[in-house]
Amino acid sequence: MANQHPTTEREKEALAWATNAFRLKSAELEKGYLDNVREAVVKDVIEYHDYLSARGKGLFTSAPKVDETGWLIRNVSAELLKRNGQLPAELVDFAASSLREDQQSSRRPGPKKHDLITRDLVIGIVVYCIVKKWGFKRTRKRFSKTKAACAVSIAQAALWDGARLQLSEDDIVKASNKFERFIPSRHKTRAGTPRFF
């Protein structure tokens, strides 16, 4: 479907789908959502690690340098160590540097970097799906005189309609960029929709 030229009808379909997606995921769009579901998230990541390991694959494509959530990779590493005293090779350096780090000195006042990570991932998934399924370009051309719809503009309207969340197109582009960095391409399905959405 993605190779068809987007039409007004396809824009309406994409908007309806995205509005419903944001309505269903409204809790995950809230600031600090990930902290409220910490144990379940760690359990899910461990299960996914076990699933991939049983098939000879690794969860992480390379050694993580930073834990975007502020705690997820550290907690996954701790659970894996507790279980059998071993870590996947790609987590060893991360775990060692986390143990050496002074956690107190790295805390700064103000919003935590990970407060909005689930919001950004949900938005990024929606933008990605609109591009893949309905064939819209991800963003508009900056200096174009036309106001043709793009995946980001559709997601912006859907965010308001589905979750009463008002963000600029630039904020949605940033969220979409985070999603593209956070989710390696091999964890997306062939059809283009990530498995967890």
Residues 21-44 have a mean pLDDT of: 85
Write out the two tokens for 62: 């390379």
Cα–Cα distance, 98 to 161 (Å, whole number): 41
Question: Which tens digits make up the pLDDT trace of 50-78?
Answer: 888 888 887 776 667 666 666 778 888 88
Candidates 145, 169, 143, 137; CA nearest to 11 is 137
Q: Sketch the domain layout of the chain as residue ranges.
A: 8-31+116-187, 36-100
Cα–Cα distance, 80 to 83 (Å, whole number): 5
Higher pLDDT, 122 or 182: 122
| Average per-residue pLDDT for the chain | 80
Q: Residue 14's pLDDT is what?
A: 96
Torsion angles phi and psi, residue 87, rounded to 5 = -125, 150
Which string of DSSP letters, residue by residue, matches 40-96?
A: HHHHHHHHHHHHHHHTT--S-SS--S--TTSSHHHHHHHHHHHHHS---HHHHHHHH
Top mean pLDDT of 58-67, 108-117, 121-130 is at 121-130
Residues 101-110 have a mean pLDDT of: 54
- As a whole number of angstroms, the longest Cα–Cα distance in the chain is 60
Cα–Cα distance, 47 to 196 (Å, whole number): 13
pTM of the model: 0.64
Q: Residue 190's pLDDT is what?
A: 45
Q: Residue 68's pLDDT is what?
A: 64
Q: Residue 186's pLDDT is what?
A: 42
**Does residue 187 surpass a pLDDT of 50?**
no
Q: In this structure, are residues 158 and 166 in contact, taking their beta carbons and an 8 Å threshold?
A: no
Q: Residue 121's pLDDT is what?
A: 86
Count CB atoms within 10 A of the CB of residue 7: 12
Q: Residue 114's pLDDT is what?
A: 64
Q: In this structure, are residues 191 and 50 in contact, taking their beta carbons and an 8 Å threshold?
A: no
137-166: b (≥16 Cβ within 10 Å) or e = ebbbeeeeeeeebbbbbbbbebbebbbebe
Q: Residue 102's pLDDT is what?
A: 57
